[in-house]
């Protein structure tokens, strides 16, 4: 008999090379019984989903077993911490569901096996189109392990309402809601560690109205052509650490929405992708406040954008105290970008109000750019210019060829603390007189 580790490797190879089919005939091995310990080296109470009737053959609906196991672990009162175990060698089909708190104990969802979603819109409940696995009001939650969460997004990406790329690509009207793979809502002290996320229909991991969040050592994979497959998105969330992760997808590796502050992103390998973005902010004349965002010690490669701040005209609010430091760019089309004229169509009317952008530092950013665009683009509002933009030790060279593109500036005020390559001579040195 093959060992559990060999069987687990076999499952990963199968799922990474093709979609899960309905004619799979798997014979799961007995559930393992690992020992789990908390930080004080005390054994934890473990609730294995197979003990609640989960089959784990990739085709049987195991949703009810997951819900029963969650409710039992969440309501346990005899211990301080519980583990909900998704064991390795198993592949569980779980339909859209919400795992609700508050729980009476700190809960760890240990995913060592594989979790797959229903296969496309026709297999999806009509009333649950925007999310797959949601965690609501769960404080002290850890989602960790060596397993795989597979959103099987291809059939969602192929909907006629999705943006199609190509010379004659078109987008047709129609219902276009697509589910986020993992959404964590109104929760605190949340940690996600070690997992692999693959092929979400839309965002892979999203945090809304959360605080004290850590995402560590995750891998996120989706094709570069997959629409709106952001790796990690945060909205109205603060005190966030995102670190030591590898993200390759069809949209932003990390996107930071309105209401976020105290966010530290470091040691990220990003690409192919749309880079690391603050925004978009201010859509539909909304207000957005974002501050104390730091991105350091990261690599962005073969991507449409590097580090970007994007806002819609007509919005209000403020983006301030932003630091991009120690970042390597490899063949990035727009390595450094501020765009206060962000628009997804060609028909956006000019408006006077804008989300203000101020106090942004770009330090030790080096590498290469795609010559189709300038290496630095500071497109700022006519009414509310960008202020206190600072650049030091920025060296960006063409990925191919010898000719440099000049940086682009519009209504952007700032300074070069050191000589940059290419020089950003288009920055304005002082604010205009009031």
Q: Which residues are catalytic?
A: 274
Sign of the CA dihedral 50, 55, 57, 61? negative
The tokens of 210 are what?
Answer: 């959360």
Residue 212 region by backbone torsions, left for phi larger than 0, else alpha for psi between -120 and 50, else beta: left
SS3 state at 50: helix
Q: Are 177 and 129 in contact (CB under 8 A)?
A: yes
List all residues 6 or more positions away from 407 whose beta carbon is below 8 Å from its beta carbon: 374, 375, 376, 377, 378, 422, 423, 424, 425, 426
Give the Cβ contact number of residue 230 at 10 Å. Answer: 25
> What residues does 145 pair with on adjacent strands?
none
Q: Are 326 and 297 in contact (CB under 8 A)?
A: yes
Maximum C-alpha span of the chain: 80
Q: Are 246 and 254 in contact (CB under 8 A)?
A: no
Q: Are 202 and 179 in contact (CB under 8 A)?
A: yes
How far apart are the C-alpha atoms of 381 and 140, rounded to whole Å? 42
List all residues 6 or more positions away from 295 whose beta carbon is below 8 Å from its beta carbon: 265, 266, 268, 276, 307, 323, 324, 325, 327
How far apart are the C-alpha atoms of 275 and 335, rounded to whole Å? 9
């Amino acid at each position: 008999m093959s060992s559990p580790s060999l069987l687990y490797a076999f499952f990963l190879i199968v799922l990474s090379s093709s979609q899960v089919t309905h004619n799979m005939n798997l014979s799961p091995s007995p559930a393992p019984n690992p020992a789990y310990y908390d930080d004080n080296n005390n054994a934890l109470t473990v609730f294995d989903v197979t003990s609640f009737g989960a089959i784990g053959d990739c085709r049987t609906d195991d949703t009810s077993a997951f819900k029963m196991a969650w409710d039992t672990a969440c309501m346990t009162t005899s211990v301080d911490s519980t583990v909900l175990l998704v064991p390795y060698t198993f592949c569980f089909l779980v339909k859209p569901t919400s795992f609700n708190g508050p729980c009476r104990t700190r809960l760890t969802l240990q995913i060592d096996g594989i979790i797959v979603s229903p296969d496309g819109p026709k297999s999806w409940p009509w009333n649950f189109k925007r999310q797959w696995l949601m965690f609501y009001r769960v404080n002290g939650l850890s989602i960790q392990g060596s397993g795989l969460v597979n959103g099987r997004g291809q059939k969602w990406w192929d909907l006629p309402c999705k943006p199609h790329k190509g010379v004659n690509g078109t987008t047709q009207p129609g219902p276009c809601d697509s589910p986020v793979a993992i959404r964590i809502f109104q929760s605190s002290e949340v940690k996600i560690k070690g997992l692999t996320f693959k092929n979400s229909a839309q965002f892979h991991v999203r945090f809304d109205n959360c605080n004290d969040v850590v995402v560590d050592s995750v891998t996120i994979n989706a094709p570069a052509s997959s629409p709106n497959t952001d790796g990690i998105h945060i909205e109205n969330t603060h005190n966030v650490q995102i670190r030591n992760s590898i993200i390759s997808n069809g949209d932003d590796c990390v996107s930071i929405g309105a209401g976020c502050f105290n966010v530290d992103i470091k040691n990220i390998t990003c690409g192919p992708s749309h880079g690391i973005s603050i925004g978009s902010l201010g859509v539909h004349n909304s207000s957005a406040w974002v501050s104390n965002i730091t991105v350091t010690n990261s690599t962005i490669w073969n991507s449409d954008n590097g580090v970007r701040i994007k806002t819609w005209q007509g919005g209000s609010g403020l983006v301030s105290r932003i630091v991009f430091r120690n970042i390597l760019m490899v063949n990035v089309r727009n390595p450094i970008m501020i765009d206060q004229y962000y628009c997804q169509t060609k028909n956006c009317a000019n408006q006077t109000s804008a989300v203000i952008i101020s106090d942004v530092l770009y330090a030790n950013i080096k590498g290469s750019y795609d010559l189709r665009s300038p290496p630095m683009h500071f497109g700022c509002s006519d009414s509310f210019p960008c202020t206190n933009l600072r650049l030091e030790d920025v060296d960006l060279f063409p990925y191919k060829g010898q000719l440099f593109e000049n940086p682009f500036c519009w209504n952007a005020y700032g300074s070069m603390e050191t000589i940059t390559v290419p020089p950003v001579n288009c920055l304005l040195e002082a604010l205009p007189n009031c």
